[in-house]
Structure 1
Amino acid sequence: MVGSNKIGEATAKNSAYSIKIAKQKAGTSILIYAVDVARNKSASKPVKVIDKTAPSAPSVNTVYDYSTAITGKAETNAKVYAWVGSKKIGESTSKSGSYTMKISKQKAGTSIAVYALDASENKSASKTVKVIDKTAPPIPTVNKITSKTVTVTGKSEKGASIYIYNGSKKIGQGVVDSRGNYKVKIKAQKKGSTIKVYAQDKSGNKSKSKTTKVS
Structure 2
Amino acid sequence: MKTTLSNDALAAYLARQMSNVFPDREVAAAELTPFVEGGLERLALCFARISDKYLPAGREQLFNHRHTDHYAMFLYLVANTIRKMQGNLELADKAYALNKALHAIDVYHEVELPEVFFFQHPLGTILGRAKYGNYFMAYQRCTVGAEDQKYPVIGEAVVMFGGSAILGDCTIGNNVWLSSGTIVLGQDVPDDSVVFGQSPNITIKSTKRHVVRDLFNHPSGRR
Where on the TM-score scale, by shorter chain, does this alignment land: which range?
A: under 0.3
TM-score, with normalisation over the residues of structure 2?
0.20
The structure having more radius of gyration, on CA atoms, is 1
TM-score, with normalisation over the residues of structure 1?
0.21
Greater helix proportion: 2
- More relative contact order, 1 or 2 (CA 8 Å, 6+ apart): 1
